[in-house]
Amino acid sequence: MTSKVELVSVVIPTLNEAGNILEAVTAIEKDLAYPKEIIVVDGNSTDGTIEIVKDTSFCKLIIEPRLGYGTALKTGMKNAKGNIIVMVDGDGTYDVKHINRLLDRMIQKDADMVLATRMYDPNKAMGFMNFVGNKVITFFFDFFYSQFLSDTQSGFRAISHEAINNVKLNEGDMAFATEMLVQFAKEGYSMTEVSTTYKARKYGKTKLKKFKSGIEIFSTIFRGLLDADMVRKNEEYWKKNWFKR
Ligand SMILES: Nc1nc2c(ncn2[C@@H]2O[C@H](COP(=O)(O)OP(=O)(O)OP(=O)(O)O)[C@@H](O)[C@H]2O)c(=O)[nH]1
Ligand SMILES: [Mg+2]
């Protein structure tokens, strides 16, 4: 439950995002209407990202030499002081001007997490394989964890700091984003969405290894189910909502 925004810690992982990061952090600094701190967690970029971040007066820079998207986010979250954490990529693909939507919805719904969904984006900028993979993962996640999310792979989220401190997160790479949803669902934390638009990457290379991440994400979803309590909760949910006569 999040009834008040005291301070927002925006955590941004970067690995060689020199052509993207300045636009992203400048927009957040300008548009975010709540008290904030912006934390960039860089994985020892070699393309000038670090220098660009250092040159801004408003970003806190953390170097996390251990590789992995999840590892970088975890380090950023550990250093975050806000009662709400917003995570977003530093690659300019998410429309960060929608950041206030996430926070407004969080308060309005008293939610523990709000995700920015790219599934209603009229530009349809998501690559075909990413779109299909996301749909399949989201279907399995929603079905097994009794949720109604449309974009489980969104990396643009507002999260209650207290809630995330209460769950155990082990994944170091892209499956981190799914593990967070699995743990929140298991703990009964509330999750909801707002829509956003999405742009294809303009600069630099993707760090997403589709096959490896796909396996890790599915194994995260199914591992979460190997828990008697979760099986029981699911059974109760389906009985109540689908098998009632
Ligand atoms: N610090 C750190 N950041 C990382 C690492 N891997 C990825 N990132 C950052 O995490 C964010 C997500 O990675 P992306 O490569 O954009 O992955 P994606 O969003 O699935 O793929 P795109 O379609 O290219 O956007 C980006 O801002 C990356 O720079 C890492 O090992 N360390
Ligand atoms: Mg990205």
- Quick: pLDDT tens for 20-36: 999 999 999 999 999 99
Does the beta carbon of 13 sit less than 6 angstroms from any atom of ligand 1?
yes
Write out the two tokens for 108.
């309005």
Residues 124-145: tens digit of each pLDDT: 888 899 999 999 999 999 999 9
Tell me if 130 sits within 8 A of 211, measured CB to CB: no
Are 89 and 27 contacting, i.e. CB atoms less than 8 angstroms apart? no
pLDDT for residue 62: 98
Check if 36 has its Cβ closer than 6 Å to any atom of ligand 1. Answer: no
Name which of 209, 20, 222 is nearest 130 in CA terms.
Answer: 209
Q: How confident is the model at residue 233 (pLDDT cuts 50, 70, 90)?
A: confident
Rounded to whole angstroms, how far apart are CA atoms 139 and 147?
Answer: 9
Cβ(157) – ligand 1 distance below 6 Å:
no
Residues 197, 174: Cα–Cα separation, whole Å = 21
pLDDT tens-digit readout, 47-91: 999 999 999 999 999 999 999 999 999 999 999 999 999 999 999
CA 245 – ligand 1 centroid, Å? 47
Q: Which ligand gives the minimal distance to the CA of 88?
A: 1
The residues with which 115 forms a beta bridge, in sequence order, are 157, 193
What is the residue with the minimal CA distance to atom 24 of ligand 1? 206
pLDDT confidence of residue 244 = 61
For residue 37, the SS3 value is: strand
First to last CA, the chain: 33
* Ligand 1 centroid from CA 88, angstroms: 10
Which pLDDT belongs to residue 237? 77
CA separation for the pair 135, 130 (Å, rounded): 8
Confirm whether pTM is higher than 0.95.
Answer: no
Task: Kindly identify the ligand whose nearest atom is closest to the C-alpha of 203.
Answer: 1
Does residue 245 have a pLDDT over 60?
no
What is the spatial distance between Cα 98 and Cα 90, in angstroms, rounded to a whole number?
15
- Quick check: CB of 17 below 6 Å from ligand 1? yes
pLDDT tens, position by position, 105-127: 999 999 999 999 999 988 888 88
Q: From the CB of 69, is ligand 1 less than 6 Å away?
A: yes
pLDDT-based confidence at residue 238 (cuts at 50, 70, 90)? confident
Residue 78: phi and psi, rounded to 5, are -60, -35
